[in-house]
């Protein structure tokens, strides 16, 4: 293949954008054309079924959820990226994604830098907007359309080279870019390990999750008390749950270590602590100590009362009250 044929398949601009994305520390990069969203109807059905529990905010921005061109006038293409957060890290009381700095901040900053480099490459300001799990855009859908992976039976996007322990971000641009081929294959096959391993049986069927039963929801988004029926299943899990990813054969084989300089490495307050120790430490925090210990942490999402609630549940499983002798 000569250079002219190569450029006809993917222009120098697309290759430059992806190279810049990798240079900024992203582990995956692909391009998708914006437009009507294939999975929007399934998302609507999921909401109607009540599987979002009390996360009413998910219903906002339905028009943008159904058509990814709507976040701003002229939006045409998306650069979709993935960033590893360490599937090879050991299990623990805190889900792997939440042990270090907040991925929203890290990825938004890098996507904005990528946007600036696109402006420089094009030679003019290009209208654009970065999303990292904070708007109505169905980024998992965009990632599949950009060739980054398929929807696993545990609802996670799975990439055949790094598994599913990665964050997804997208940079929407007012540029006509050549899209990558979408990921069409379903490589889960007959495997149901993720569904079978869920401690709370939160999957109603493959690729459908009832959030009200999910440990991640119960310990993070849930604002009320955690129903007692789930306490035993929560066990040592103080914040989030990785079980359905840990058992996935694609992660067993391909999940990656965290680089030594990764911003997602465990912060000092968490690192190396067994569940009971971490739970007791959290129970003693006041507001100022909490703010200091969890500065720039995604765990602030649950707020201090939520973390103390979770800690009480964990300690109730690990250090139950002795039975009365009377």
* DSSP symbols for 243-292: HHHHT-HHHHHH--PPPTT-TTSPPTTTTT--HHHHHHHHHT--HHHHHH
Q: CA of 70: how far to CAs of 26, 37, 41, 161, 265, in Å?
A: 26, 11, 17, 32, 36
All residues at 6 or more sequence positions from 313 whose CB lies less than 8 Å from its CB, including other chains: 226, 231, 234
Give the separation between CA 190 and CA 61, rounded to whole angstroms: 35
Give the separation between CA 169 and CA 110, rounded to whole angstroms: 10
Q: CA of 78: how far to CAs of 60, 131, 147, in Å?
A: 21, 10, 12
- Residue 320: what pLDDT? 75
Neighbours of 269 (CB within 10 A): 19
Give the separation between CA 153 and CA 192, rounded to whole angstroms: 7
Sign of the four-CA dihedral 136, 138, 143, 145: negative
Task: List, in sequence order, every residue forming a beta bridge with 151; answer none if it has no partner.
Answer: 157
> The whole model's pTM is what?
0.94
- Residue 325: what pLDDT? 46
- Residue 74, SS3 per DSSP: coil
The residue from 101, 133, 174, 281 that is catalytic is: 133
How many CA atoms within 13 Å lie on the side-chain side of 92?
A: 20
Structure tokens at 108: 């938004």
User: Is 67 within 8 Å of 172 (Cβ atoms)?
Assistant: no
- Residue 197: what pLDDT? 98
Nearest to 159 by CA among 21, 29, 9: 29
Pairing of strands 150-151, 203-205: unpaired
Conformation bin of residue 184: beta by default, left when phi > 0, alpha when psi is -120 to 50:
alpha
Instruction: Sort 226 into a burial class: Cβ within 10 Å, 0-12 / 13-18 / 19+.
Output: middle
- Residue 285: what pLDDT? 98
b (16+ CB within 10 A) / e for 36-58: ebebbeebeebbeeebbbeeeeb
User: Is 241 within 8 Å of 233 (Cβ atoms)?
Assistant: no
Give the separation between CA 311 and CA 321, rounded to whole angstroms: 15
Averages of pLDDT over runs of 10 residues in the chain (326 residues) are 47 96 98 97 97 96 96 97 98 98 98 98 97 94 98 98 98 97 97 98 98 98 98 98 98 97 97 97 98 98 98 93 50
- Residue 321: what pLDDT? 64
Instruction: Sort 190 into a burial class: Cβ within 10 Å, 0-12 / 13-18 / 19+.
Output: exposed
Structure tokens at 243: 């079980």
Give the separation between CA 154 and CA 209, rounded to whole angstroms: 8
- Residue 54: what pLDDT? 96
Give the separation between CA 109 and CA 123, rounded to whole angstroms: 21
Instruction: Sort 173 into a burial class: Cβ within 10 Å, 0-12 / 13-18 / 19+.
Output: buried
Query: Annotated catalytic, 281?
Result: no
């Amino acid at each position: 293949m000569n250079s002219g044929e190569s450029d006809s398949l993917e222009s120098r601009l697309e290759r430059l954008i992806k190279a810049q994305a990798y240079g900024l520390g992203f582990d995956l990069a692909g391009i998708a054309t914006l437009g009507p969203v294939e999975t929007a109807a399934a998302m609507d059905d999921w909401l109607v079924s009540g599987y979002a529990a009390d996360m009413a905010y998910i219903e906002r921005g339905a028009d943008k959820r159904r058509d990814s061109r709507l976040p701003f006038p002229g939006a045409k293409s998306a650069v979709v990226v993935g960033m590893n957060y360490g599937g090879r890290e050991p299990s623990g009381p805190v889900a792997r994604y939440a042990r270090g700095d907040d991925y929203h901040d890290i990825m938004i900053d890098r996507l904005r830098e990528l946007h600036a480099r696109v402006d420089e490459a094009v030679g003019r300001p290009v209208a654009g907007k970065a999303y990292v799990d904070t708007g109505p855009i169905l980024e998992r859908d965009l990632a599949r359309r950009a060739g980054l992976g398929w929807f696993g039976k545990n609802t996670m996007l799975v990439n055949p080279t790094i598994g599913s322990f990665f964050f997804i971000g997208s940079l929407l641009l007012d540029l006509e870019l050549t899209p990558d081929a979408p990921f069409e294959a379903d490589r889960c096959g007959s495997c149901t390990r993720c569904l079978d391993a869920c401690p709370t049986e939160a999957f109603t069927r493959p690729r459908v999750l009832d959030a009200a039963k999910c440990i991640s929801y119960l310990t993070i988004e849930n604002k009320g008390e955690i129903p007692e029926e789930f306490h035993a299943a929560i066990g040592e899990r103080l914040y989030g749950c990785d079980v359905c990813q840990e058992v996935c054969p694609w992660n067993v084989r391909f999940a990656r270590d965290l680089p030594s300089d990764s911003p997602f490495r465990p912060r000092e307050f968490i690192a190396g602590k067994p569940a009971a120790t971490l739970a007791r430490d959290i129970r003693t925090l006041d507001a100022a100590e909490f703010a200091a210990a969890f500065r720039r942490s995604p765990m602030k999402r649950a707020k201090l009362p939520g973390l103390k609630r979770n800690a009480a549940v964990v300690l109730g499983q690990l250090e139950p009250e002795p039975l009365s002798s009377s």
